[in-house]
Structure 1
Amino acid sequence: MIPRSSETTLQRLAKGFPIIALTGPRQSGKTTLAKHVFPNKTYVSLENPDELEFAKADPRRFLARLDRGAILDEVQRCPSLLSWLQHIVDERAVMGDFVLTGSSQFELIAGITQTLAGRVGRVELLPLNTLELKAANKLPSDLHALLLHGGYPSLYSREVSPQDWFSNYMVTYIERDVRHLIAVRDLSQFQRFVKMCAARSGQLLNLAALGADCGLSATTAREWLSVLEASYLVTRLQPHHQNFGKRLIKSPKLYFLDTGLMAWLLGIRDADSLDTHASRGALFETFVVSELMKQAFNQGQAGDLYFWRDSTGHEVDLLQQTPQGLQAIEIKSGTTFASDWTKGINKWQSLSGSTLQPKIIFGGVGGYEREGCQAVGWQEIATNFTKK
């Protein structure tokens, strides 16, 4: 397996919590990672019909046989187990006793919040980031290749094309997850909805407009978007709440969490098509946002990412909360520095009074300082933005 940055986080949390929850999208490597970090624990998959039936019918006996703890895979399929786990871990008081994995936030996180509060250390595992790919000597040297592949581990451990893999991934996702979470009568309409979301990655979210373009009500669009969020396919980036003397945009921005899936949904199949595609800039912006979120999640931290935009159009792509204060980050897909790249950052600094040096992540290579900003190439994100 490709070593994951969150290994040390899981080991750390296992010393202080009786239960570890490892969540993330399907095929992000949760099961492989859990087995690797906890090799001596019994592995039980609740996607096995026999195990699931046993867990639902007699949860006490199901857990009684696991006297040394276990890895319980896709545990959200049997939420009633969480109540029984509470009693067991309270009695045994063994740290790192059970490891729970899940690919949907709805049932699992709700159950953890209500039943296992204070007993769970949580790690969210997104697909591979550049640091992990680089350490495994699998990071593409070409930015376009990385954007088209994304970060799902299977694309770096098998001889399979992104087109074949994502096609099957979407079919499996819809059949197994969407129907489990909501009643979708028209699967083709849901597929169209997902593609429309991909076309809006990096843009302000307007649920009414999104729904109208798909023939849905704003209420249905909100419900379906929540399913995509719960399954770790998309996220909403909130505007920064502090008003620096200006009227601010209050709508969130929508982002996919994997550029490979986003590119596939947009019908982009090769580097030549990507080079001239209208969504190239949005794909690069999506890559940067997801990359910074992955780095934070791998350390067991919140992403703490926002954007800033005032009513006159001034904007900073990202504001990252750091111990030193808000870090302003501009994202540019171009390969050569341009003087207008700092326009939004300069406006924000004049209003906020921030003295922290802004950063610009661009589509080129290397790093240097220009006009008071630190410019960072896409390959250097891993070493320049790891949260402390």
Structure 2
Amino acid sequence: MAKSEFLQRELKSEIQRLSSLYAVIVVTGPRQSGKTTLCRNHFSTYHYINLENPSTREQVLTAPKAFLEQHADGLIVDEAQHLPELFSYIQVIVDENEDSNFVLTGSSNFSLMQGITQSLAGRAAILTLLPLSLSELGIRVQEKGTDTILLNGGYPVVWTKGIPVQDVAQNYYNTYIERDIRQLLNVKDITRFQTFIKLCAGRIGTEFNASALSNELGVSVPTIQEWLSVLEASYVIFRLPPFFRNIGKRLVKSPKLYFYDTGLACFLLGIENEQQLATHPLRGAIFENMVVLEFFKNRYNQGKLPHLYFYRDKSQHEVDLIEEKGTKLYAYEVKSAKAFTKNFIKSLGYFRNVVGDDVVSTQVIYDGENDIYSSENGMVNFRNIKFED
């Protein structure tokens, strides 16, 4: 087995801050994003259990309150969504013992959050850990080519253990389909659902059209919506909503689709190496996915919700990414090209003219070598993104 290298995660400082304020820390995120490694590293003296193990679940259920009380001074419960009945016991213990400390992790946002909102509201700090960000990878992204970065995605084992991304993605996909989906959905035709996921990969960076997918797959629109919700709850896909701000009905209303990992997206598209990716018609969309995802990672790693959108009106004027901070708007165009052209800033200028002075920054994020840091029509290589405070 390859020796694993530990990478510092940016979420660690937020975990440290909140653990002094809350008795319960909840860390959600995709499978294999590093939740267990982070929590066991940071809370190294805590007792650890993994509820993926059926025998562990059975053991805990024999006397749940007694077990939790025994380890109330520090307990990590991995994949806690498997035993939501524990949350009520944790609530009682936390209310009775102010020195108790629990860390819960989970890869099913729906199951985990449902139990937490019912039993631990106001008692738990909730954080999200996504796969590795470019800044967490550090020097590695300076040393690797763009296609390698896109193909590898952000799952830690690819970077720290050197496991080929095709193996990681295939095992992730098989495990997810065979286990998680069967738990969350009563899918009679699993082949059709597999086709649905692959069709979503082919629609990266485009507006989600449930009717079109319904017709293509031969299932109802409500079924498509349900399947998409499960992919979101399982941290496979996320939606980027359209931007609205009192500028009428000119704007589109459908969200755009992206994947939480570009390595998994490449796998679903049948892209096996950098040579295939370099000439693939969706390379630009995958590059856009990576950049948009970096903004989500930056927000979640600070323990903050993302206020991120895209802009498109009926005349097809589009800006790839809008970040809203109070009344201020930061607009970004994402281009996979290495050479800058004036056409890159055309939509940014249009957006500034339509929205007005609230647009405080317009930037192009691309793959070129020259960085120009400017509040108006700046340009920056994706490896050097400077996020606004």
1:125 equivalent in alignment to 2:132 = no
Separation of aligned partners in 2, 1:49 and 1:246: 53
* TM-superposed deviation, 1:245: 4.7
1:256 equivalent in alignment to 2:259 = yes
Query: Over aligned residues, Cα RMSD in angstroms?
Result: 1.7
User: Structure 1 segments of 4 or more deviating over 6 A?
Assistant: none
Where 1:185 maps in the other structure, the secondary structure is: coil
1:284 equivalent in alignment to 2:287 = yes
Separation of aligned partners in 2, 1:366 and 1:293: 25
* Equivalent position of 2:362 in the other structure: 358
Separation of aligned partners in 1, 2:370 and 2:128: 30
Partners of 2:363 and 2:376 within 8 A in 1? no
Where 1:201 maps in the other structure, the secondary structure is: coil
1:311 equivalent in alignment to 2:314 = yes
Amino acid in the other structure paired with 1:260: G
The one of 53, 56, 72 aligned to 1:51? 56
Could you tell which deviates more after superposition, 110-119 or 291-300? 110-119
1:85-105 Cα shifts (integer Å, max 9, x gaps): 11111111237x100000001
The one of 240, 252, 261 aligned to 2:243? 240
Separation of aligned partners in 2, 1:83 and 1:311: 50
Partners of 1:365 and 1:379 within 8 A in 2? no
Separation of aligned partners in 2, 1:78 and 1:318: 38
* Equivalent position of 1:68 in the other structure: 73
Q: Unaligned regions of 5+ residues in structure 1, if any?
A: none
Amino acid in the other structure paired with 1:192: T
* TM-superposed deviation, 1:180: 0.9
* Equivalent position of 2:112 in the other structure: 108
Could you tell which deviates more after superposition, 240-249 or 140-149? 240-249
* Equivalent position of 2:274 in the other structure: 271
1:291-337 Cα shifts (integer Å, max 9, x gaps): 11011101101111011111111111111023571111111111111
The one of 159, 165, 169 aligned to 1:166? 169
1:207 equivalent in alignment to 2:210 = yes
* TM-superposed deviation, 1:122: 1.4
Partners of 2:141 and 2:383 within 8 A in 1? no
* Equivalent position of 2:38 in the other structure: 33
Where 2:384 maps in the other structure, the secondary structure is: helix
Alignment of 1:308-387 (within 5 A): 308-322=311-325, 325-354=328-357, 355-368=359-372, 372-381=376-385, 384-385=386-387, 387=388
**CA, structure 1 residues 366+16, in 2 after alignment: closer, same or farther (shift >3 Å)?**
farther
Where 2:372 maps in the other structure, the secondary structure is: strand
**CA, structure 1 residues 210+53, in 2 after alignment: closer, same or farther (shift >3 Å)?**
same
Where 1:328 maps in the other structure, the secondary structure is: strand
* Equivalent position of 2:148 in the other structure: 145
Amino acid in the other structure paired with 1:302: L
Amino acid in the other structure paired with 1:158: K
Separation of aligned partners in 1, 2:374 and 2:44: 49
Partners of 2:372 and 2:379 within 8 A in 1? yes
Where 2:252 maps in the other structure, the secondary structure is: coil
Structure 2 length normalisation: TM-score? 0.94
1:209-241 Cα shifts (integer Å, max 9, x gaps): 122222221111111111110111110111112
Separation of aligned partners in 1, 2:375 and 2:50: 54
The one of 80, 84, 107 aligned to 1:79? 84
% identical equivalent positions: 44
Structure 1 length normalisation: TM-score? 0.95
